[in-house]
Amino acid sequence: MAQLSLLNITGQDTVRQRVQTLQRELHSHAHRYYVLDEPIIADAEYDRLFQELLTLEQQHPELITPDSPSQRVGGAPLAQFATVAHTNPMLSLENAFAPNDLVDFEERLFRFLQSRTPITYVTEPKLDGLAVELVYENGLFTLGSTRGDGLVGEEITQNLKTIPAIPLRLLTENGEAAPKHLEVRGEVFIGLTDFKKLNEARGGAGESLFANPRNAAAGSLRQLDPKITATRPLDFYVYGASDPTALPCRDQHALLKYLGGLGFKINPLVHLCQSISEVIDQFAQLQGQRQALTYDIDGMVVKINDFALQERLGAKARSPRWAIAAKFAASQATTSLLAVEFGVGRTGAITPVAILAPVQVGGVMVSRATLHNEDELRRKGLMIGDIVVVQRAGDVIPEVVKPVMENRTGQEQAIIMPTSCPECGVTLVRVGQEAITRCPNPDCPAQRVRSLIHFAGKSGMDIEGLGKKAVEQLVKEGLIQDIPDIYQLGQQAPGALADLDGWGEKSAENAARAIEASRAPTLTRFITALGIRHVGEVTAQLLARHFTSLARLCLAGEADFLQIEGIGEQVATSLVDYFQAPETTEMLARLEALGVCVQEEKPGAEADGVLAGYIFLFTGVLASLSRSEAKARIKELGGQIASGLNRRVTHVVLGDSPGSKLAKAQELGLPVITEAEFLQFVNR
C-alpha cells in the first residue's frame, strides 16, 4: 500500500495533480518498457507508482480518466510493423508480493464465487521475455504478433518463424486432424548462456550491448529483417490459448499437455497444486531454484486450473480475476553512496543521481542510480557516505532503497539540493505542491539539448540517425541549437555531416533523407515532439482531434482547452504558457519558412456521428464486449467518454458488479441504462 501521508495529499486539487502526475509518469515508463525497450526505472518502482495510482483512484473515482494506466493494459505498438487485433485481449496480471497476498487472492475468489469449495491451481515460472500470440489455420502457422497494448499487437510472423521452438506445422497423433483454428500464447526469451555469448559477440564487433536478456529478445523480434532475427538464440515456451474453451480440454493442466502433444514446448516446472498452501510452498521452492535456472524469471504465475471457474470469474478492466503473478523480491546488494549529482531534464526538472561504489546487482555492475526528486531523497533519509541497499527489479536501471542506519559512523554528510541550475546558474524554483525542483530558464543549454533529443527521437519525430549521441555531437559542434536548426541542417546535409567523427557519407545521406521525410508530420506527432510540459501522446491526440490544425491550436485560450474531455487546468495552463510564449511563435515561424508543414487532422466520424452530443460513463463489467471495445464504438459514432462523474454525463452504462459510481450517479439524477440498452444505442 502506498504511504499517502508522505505525499502531503491534503486537498482535492492536490490529489488531482498527483493522479495526473502518476498517470503521466506511468504512461511514459510503460512506453519505454513495453514499446521502446529502454526502461529507466526498476519494476519495483513502477509497481509502487501503479499501486499508489490505484489507491488514489479508488478513493476518488471521479478522477479516473479513460486514458489512465489503470484502464488500459499496456503500451501501444510500434509504427514500423503492421498491426494485428487480438481476438481476445492479452491481459496483464495483478501482482502478489508475499504469501499473504496469495491467501487474499483466494479469499477474493471465494467471495466472488460465493462458495468455499476447494480450488486447484496451476503454477509456472514467470519468464522475463516477450509475450506473443501464434495463430494456426488447419495446423499451419499463419500469423504471429506481439502483445502490444493487449488489444492490438505488432505483426512479426516472419521473425517468429525463425525460432526453432515454434512449430511451423502442428503435430498430430494417430492421423487425427489438427484444429481448424488455434490461437496460442507464450513467451519468447533468450537463455542466460546464449545471452552472454550474444553480448560477447556484439562487443567484439564494436556493437552496443543489450542491457539484459529481455531487451535482447524484444529487440531481436522487432528486427525489420528476419535474417537478423534468425541469428539470435531465441527460445519459446507456450503457456495458454486465446480461447481454451474451444479446445478439447477442461482445465489449464490438460491444455498444456494437449499443446505439448501438438509440438509446443512446455515449461517443465509447471505444477498442479491442490490448495493455496501448496501454491505458497511451490513459490518458495521455485525461488530457491531461481539461481540454477538457465533463463531469467521474476516470479511465478498462478492460474485457477478449471476453465469453467475461469469463465465464471471473468476479467476486470485490465486483468483476469482467475490469475495472479507472484513476484520475487528484487535483487539487492549493499554499497557506499559516494556522491550525488544533479541532472537537468528537458522540462527543467532537477533529478538527483546517486554515485555509488561499483557493485554487482542481479549480475550487472551498478555505479549510478536515480533518486527521482528531492522529496524521494528526503523520504529515504540518505546521506553521502551511507552504506545503502540497491536493487534492480526486473533487471532494469537500479534504485537506492534505503540507508543501512546501523552502519553510520557520524562522518556522513547531508545531501544539499542546489539552489541554482548546475548547467546555467539560474535560480531554481519549486511550484506549489510539485515534488520536482526546476530550472525556469528556457535557454538553459541542458534543457535545449534534451528537448532536441526528444524532438528527434522515437517519441517525437522519429528522425533516423539523430539519436541521443548524434544530437549531443551536433550541438557540441555548433551545427544545431534549436529545433529549426535541424531543418536548416537538413538543407546543408550531407555535406555538413559527412566529415564529422563517426559519420561518413552514407550515414550523412541517411540522416538528410530522414530529416526531409519528417517535414510533413501529423499534428499529433508534431505536438508530441514539441515536448510541452504535461502533454504526452494521448493528450496530443486529444488536441489534434479537437483543433484539427496547428493554427487553431496556437490561437486557443485556457477556456478552449478546458472544453476537451480529459484536459484539466494544469495541462490547459501549460499549453497557454507554451503557445503564447514569443520564443514559440518565433520557432514555429522559422519552421514554416524552412518548409515544415504540419498536416491538418482529418475530422473522423465523430464530427457528425449519431452519438454526437452524448457522453457515456461505465461502471461494472460488461458481458458482451470489453470496456475498450465499447469506448471505441462510442468514439466511432461521435460520442464521448467521461473521465469521471459530472452533470455533463448523459448516460451511465451499468455492467455487472457496479462500483460506487452507481450510487453517485443516482444522487446526481443521471440517466442509468443497462448494457442491453447501451447496445441498442450503438447499433441503431
Q: How many CB atoms sit inside 10 A of residue 393's CB? A: 23
Residues whose CB is less than 8 angstroms from the CB of residue 254 and which lie 6 or more positions away in sequence, other chains included? none
Give the Cα separation of 523 and 541 in Å (integer).
8
Query: Sign (positive/negative) of CA torsion 607, 612, 617, 620?
Result: negative
By DSSP bridging, strand 672-674 and strand 651-654 are: parallel
C-alpha cell at 174: 494417430
Catalytic residue among 126, 631, 635, 661: 126
User: What is the C-alpha to C-alpha distance for residues 85 and 115, in angstroms, rounded to an integer?
Assistant: 36
Q: 664 catalytic, yes or no?
A: no
Nearest to 466 by CA among 452, 482, 448, 476: 452
Annotate 241-253 with b (16+ C-beta within 10 A) or e (fewer): bbebeebebebbb
DSSP reduced 3-state for 399: strand
Judging by DSSP bridges, how do beta strands 234-241 and 271-273 pair with one another? Answer: unpaired
> What is the SS3 assignment for 411?
coil
Three-state DSSP class for 30? helix
- Secondary structure of 505-541 in the HEC alphabet? HHHHHHHHHHHHHCCCCEHHHHHHHHCCCCCCHHHHH
- 3-state class of 81 per DSSP? coil
Instruction: Tell me how far apart the alpha carbons of residues 241 and 256 are, in angstroms, rounded to a whole number.
Output: 9
Provide the angle, in degrees to the nearest 10, between the axes of the packed helices 675-683 and 627-636: 30
**Checking phi first, is residue 8 left (phi over 0); if not, alpha (psi -120 to 50) or beta?**
left
Catalytic residues: 126
